[in-house]
Amino acid sequence: MPAIEELTDAYERYVLDNEDGFVDEFRDRLRDFGGRPTPLQRAERLSERYDTEVYLKREDLLHGGAHKLNNALGQVLLAKYMGKERVVAETGAGQHGTATAMAAAHLDMPCEVYMGETDINRQRPNVFRMRLNGADVTPVTAGRGTLKEAINETMRDWATTVETTHYVLGSVVGPHPFPAMVRDFQAVISEEARRQIREQTDGLPDSVLACAGGGSNTMGAFAAFLDDEDVSLHAVEAGGSSLTVDEERGVAPNSASLSTGGEGVLHGARTRLLQDDDGQILESHSVSAGLDYAGVGPELAHLVESGRVRAVNVDDDAALAAFHRLSNMEGIIPALESAHALAYLERVAGLDGPATEGSSGKPRDEAHDDLGDTVIVNVSGRGDKDLETVIEETDRREIEEAPEMDVFTEGL
């Protein structure tokens, strides 16, 4: 694995030590090409609904519509500094793929993106965008054709072409230095949010919420708050349709590896994984393609184990409801990933699910005990890519906040 040694060396020199002004160029490009800083917006109606000051970190307004550009731009630029001729990437929901394709076009670098066939079918707009930016999109048919298989295939490509190619890994997973490097590129989210909340409220938030699949936006949203011990950090995972594993089929109908997984080794990292008793990796599931991964970043797993970060989860229905709620209450259509983090507000307030005693529309006192008076939610991306999924899934479920979907589904 000299590739890993070469990358570690490049990470230390360019990212940590700013050799040749790498970090300066990265920041300039994030500003001019990416559109940073993104706003930290007080959500008026959500604040009223939850009787809590809710602030949204608007990564959906970053160029490309998701936080993924922070990392993709950083890594493609790093590949340039390393003298590589080509980049490869894996993608689940397609946001990392589109971000990598955009960054590669911007920096004039050939780009190939591996994507599971299932994900290609449920994220077509992102496939088009990658192609428009000049990237090759290669379907992966193995397994269930989702992110896990795409990662395997990208690793195989990289193993074959390592001398000329950099692997732009899309999350805080894989072997060192990837988890640390991706976190550093994403940390701009919490660096900005921390400064912005102080400007707006003269203080720090009580809580920060971020959805967690692989964990890149999670680590990005938490990084600058890790030393602020009074700020509680919540990683919201995809509870899918159930937290119970289907042992017979080898499927976990969720992607909640922090909440329900066990310790193991996958893709070059020791972390928490969805696996069976033998250590075989389970197929995960989430209505959100971007969260659909059986593992999670090792540093995030460690932060959960040490108690610094609390791992929670919400199910597919709750995420869909939150998607519609933010769309019609605040005029922001969030990525299904981000909708998980938003759904947790509802959960804590005791407003999710059918009305029961104690959830009559008024927040419970314990909501404040849990999240406090000021909450930042990382809106990791925008939901345009998820519209087809949301329309189909909403149509076959009962989601209270949702408008009628049959007007759309006729055309699908």
Binding residues vs another protein (CB under 8 A)? 1-3, 5, 142, 148, 152, 155-156, 159-163, 175, 250, 262, 264-268, 273, 275, 277-281
- Closest contact distance (angstroms) between CB of 149 and another protein is 9
Task: Considering the candidates 299, 380, 385, 393, report the single residue annotated as catalytic.
Answer: 380
Q: Which residues lie below 8 Å from residue 291, measured CB to CB, with a gap of 6+?
A: 92, 211, 212, 213, 237, 238, 255, 336, 337, 340
Closest to 123 in 3D by CA, of 101, 92, 89, 88: 92
**Identity of the residue, 147 or 349, whose beta carbon is nearer to another protein in the bound complex:** 147
Compare residues 162 and 204 and give the one whose CB is closer to another protein. Answer: 162
Minimal distance, residue 283 CB to another protein, in Å: 9
Least separation in angstroms between CB 189 and another protein: 30
Q: Of the listed 57, 59, 68, 327, which one is catalytic?
A: 68
Show the DSSP H helices in 133-215 as ranges. Answer: 147-161, 178-186, 188-201
Q: Which of 57, 59, 80, 90 is catalytic?
A: 90
The whole-angstrom separation of Cα 102 and Cα 109 is: 10
CB of 405 to another protein, least distance (A): 36
Cα distances from 384 to residues 49, 68, 125, in angstroms, run 25, 15, 8
One-letter amino acid identity for 257? S
CB-based burial label for 71 (10 Å; 0-12, 13-18, 19+): buried
Q: Which is nearer to another protein, 249 or 362 (CB)?
A: 249
- Taking the least distance from each CB to another protein, the nearer of 202 and 278 is 278
- The CA distance from 328 to 348, in Å, is 21
Nearer to another protein, 154 or 254 (CB): 154
Structure tokens that stand for 87 in this block: 């980049």
* Minimum distance from residue 52 beta carbon to another protein (Å): 41
Output the smallest distance, CB 209 to another protein, in A.
31
Q: Which is nearer to another protein, 3 or 387 (CB)?
A: 3
232 catalytic per annotation: no
- In the annotation, is 90 catalytic? yes
- Determine the length of the chain: 412
C-beta contacts of 361-365 below 8 A and 24+ residues apart = 363/50, 363/51, 363/52
Complex with another protein: residue 62 or 155, whichever CB lies closer: 155
- Nearest approach in angstroms of CB 281 to another protein is 5
Say how far apart CA 68 and CA 284 lie, in whole Å. 21
CA dihedral of residues 149, 154, 155, 159 (deg, nearest 10)? 140
Active site residue 380: yes
Three-state DSSP at 365 gives: helix
Alpha helices in 250-398 (DSSP H): 257-260, 298-305, 316-330, 336-348, 365-371, 387-395
The helix (run of H) or strand (run of E) holding residue 42 is: strand 40-42
- Write the CB contacts of 369 (distance below 8 Å, at least 6 apart in sequence): none
Which residues participate in catalysis according to the annotation? 68, 90, 380
